[in-house]
Structure 1
C-alpha cells in the first residue's frame, strides 16, 4: 500500500514485494470467494489504516494475540501487563473495548475494530470554510505565529468546537 501511495502501479508494487500481479489486484480491489462454482463471499480490499505501520505506543496485532493467549492460560491483568511491558490499565481497557457481541475477546477482530477507530482521512475544517482560510492566510501573511492565530480564533469564536 505504501508503494501504491507513492504512485506505483498495482503490478509493479506486487512484483516489488514478491507477490503475483493477481495477488496485488486482490489486495487493492478485493475479490470474491467461490465454492462449487458459486460466489460465497467477498474479501474486501486492504484498508490502508490496517496495514500501515503504527506507533509502538499502540497495541499491535501480536500484542493482542498475546493478551488473548495469556487470558486463556488464566493470567491476571497485572501479569499480562508485565509480560507485554504495558500499563495494567491498558490491558484492562483492551478487552472491555474490543469484546465482540458473541462474547469473548478475539484479537484479530479487536485489531480490525481498533484500526477502524484510528484517525480517518477527513477534510480539515480550514479546507471546508473559505472565510476561515482567508482569516488564517491574512494572519500568516502578517507574520502571526500559529499559536497567536489559534488564540485569536478561540477568542473571536469561542463556541466553535475544536474537533469536527
Structure 2
C-alpha cells in the first residue's frame, strides 16, 4: 500500500502516518527523531497587544494575574516585602520593630496589616498582595459614554464618513473654549471597538473607512518571531575570512523552484572559486528532503572544503542543525529580504535558468543530468576569475592551501 492508503486503513491522518513511517515519536510540543535528535516547537504566540486571559481567585473576588505580577513604584509595598513582613510578624515583633527592619514607616506597616488581614489564619502575604492590586483598580466610565453631547457629535461625523483623526482634530476648532468637548483618536476607537455594543457597534463600525467591526492586530517590528525552532546563526556572526574569498570551503546555497512550486533543485556555490554543485530535491520540498540532498552533495567533498554554508531564511532549511551535525559545517543565515548577501549563488541561479527554465518540472532531472550541468558551468571561464574556470581556480586554491 501507499502511505496514504495505509493511513486510511488504520484511521490515522496522513501527517501522523508519515511521522510513524519515518520513526518519529510525537511528544508534547515537539518530536523525537530516530537519530535521537529532539525538536522543540516554540510556545504559541498571542495576538500583539492582546494578553491572554489570566486570573486567579482571591478573597474578595478575582484579580488579573498580569496586574499582580506588574512591578510598580517602589514606594508601594511589593510581594517580597509582604513576605518579609509575614516572616517578621511570626516571632511576635512589634509594628515599629518590623518597620525599622524593613526601612518603612510604622504607619505603612500598620495600615497594611489592618487593611489586608482578612483571614482567620492572620496576615497572608499573597492574599494581601492580590487584594492591594484589586483595590488599585479605579474603573472610570469612558468619556464618550459620559458626555452625551460629545458622543452625538462623534456619531454624526462618523455618519458623514469622517475619520477618527479628522473628528479629534476638528473638536478643538469647533469647541475652543470647552475642554470637555475633546476626544483623542484612541478615545474614539475605544468607544467603537470596546464600549459600543450590539446594533450601535455595528452602525458605528460601518462608518469607518475600512468598515471593520474589530481591530486588525498589528505586529511590532521589534517583536519578530524566530524563524526556526533551533537557534539561527546570523550572517553577522560569520567568520571574517569568508568575506575575503581567499580561503576555499565557504559555500552559498539556495533552491531553484520548478513548475507550480512543485519541485526543486538544491544549488551550492563555493565563494572563492564559484564552483557549483547541484542536488536533486524532487517534488518533496520538505526540510528533510533538502537536508538529505545537501548532506549527500557535501559528503563528496574533502574536509578542507567543508567550511561554512550561507542560506536565506527559507523554511526548507529548518533542519540546519541536523545538517551541521552530519557535515560539521556551520550554517549562517542572511538577513530577511537580503538576497545580495549571497550574491554568488543568486548569480549562479540565473545561469542555471538557461538549463532549467521557469515552468519546467525539475523532479524529472536525474543525478547524472544535474552533474552534467554542473560540470559545464565548472568548465566555463569566468570574468570574475580572470577568465579561469571554477574547476581550475578551486584546484589552485587547494594546492596553495
Using the size of structure 1 for normalisation, the TM-score is: 0.53
Task: Choose which of 28, 31, 36 in structure 1 pairs with 2:52.
Answer: 28
1:128 paired with 2:162, answer: no
In 2, distance between residues paired with 1:62 and 1:86? 14
In 2, distance between residues paired with 1:132 and 1:48? 36
Written as runs of structure 1 = structure 2, the 5 A alignment for 1:81-92 is 81-92=99-110
How far did residue 46 of structure 1 move?
A: 5.3
CA offsets, 1:15-67, max 9 Å, x none? xxxxx627x9xx93559xxxxxxxxxxxx995222122211111100110111
The answer to whether the 8 Å contact 2:95/2:109 transfers is yes
Unaligned runs of 5+ in 1: 1-19, 32-43, 150-164
Greater relative contact order, per chain length (Cα 8 Å cut-off, separation 6+): 1
Written as runs of structure 1 = structure 2, the 5 A alignment for 1:14-93 is 21=43, 28-29=52-53, 47-93=65-111
Which protein has the larger Cα radius of gyration, Structure 1 or Structure 2? Answer: 2
| Aligned residue-pair number | 110
Written as runs of structure 1 = structure 2, the 5 A alignment for 1:108-147 is 108-120=126-138, 122-124=140-142, 126-131=143-148, 133=150, 141-142=175-176
In 2, distance between residues paired with 1:84 and 1:140? 55
SS of 1:21's equivalent in the other structure is: coil
More helix by share: 1
The answer to whether the 8 Å contact 2:63/2:130 transfers is no
How far did residue 85 of structure 1 move?
A: 1.6
In 1, distance between residues paired with 2:147 and 2:86? 49
RMSD across aligned positions (CA): 3.5
CA offsets, 1:91-117, max 9 Å, x none? 011111111232310111111111111
